[in-house]
Amino acid sequence: MKRLLVLVPCILLSSCAYNQHINEHSSGVAITQQQIAAVEINKTTRQALLTQWGIPDRTQQEKDGLEVFEYIHEHSKKSEQSFIFLFNIDSDKVVSRKITRVVMRDGLVISVNTSEV
């Protein structure tokens, strides 16, 4: 019984220990304003875009013959909080997301726009 009386407060006190780790992570291709400015509407080709910017994160073929490339750059933080002996809390949060959308017709760029979420 005495051991239990000593053990219970030790466990309860140790469960109050708190740790937090934050990891930041970026994914995708970050398209710069200079890269966007270098694109010439109705002159820059699909192949030139692939060479300069790389493979897009998403592609889409529209019924009207348009081809859409989307380049997505995300910055996220992962937080791991632990309360020793009791429980852990993990959370992922996207801090910023930038989508650069390129629309092409017949292999030529006809529009480029960027949105930030």
Q: pLDDT (tens digit, 9 = 90+) per residue, 47-101?
A: 999 999 999 999 999 989 999 999 999 988 877 776 665 666 677 676 789 999 9
Token readout for 41 is 């509407």
What pairing do the DSSP bridges indicate for beta strands 66-83 and 18-27? antiparallel
> Residue 45's pLDDT is what?
97
Q: Which is nearest to 111 in space by CA: 69, 64, 52?
A: 69
d(CA 113, CA 75): 19
pTM recorded for the entire structure: 0.70
Burial 79-93 (b: 16+ CB within 10 A, else e): eeeeeeeeeeeeeee
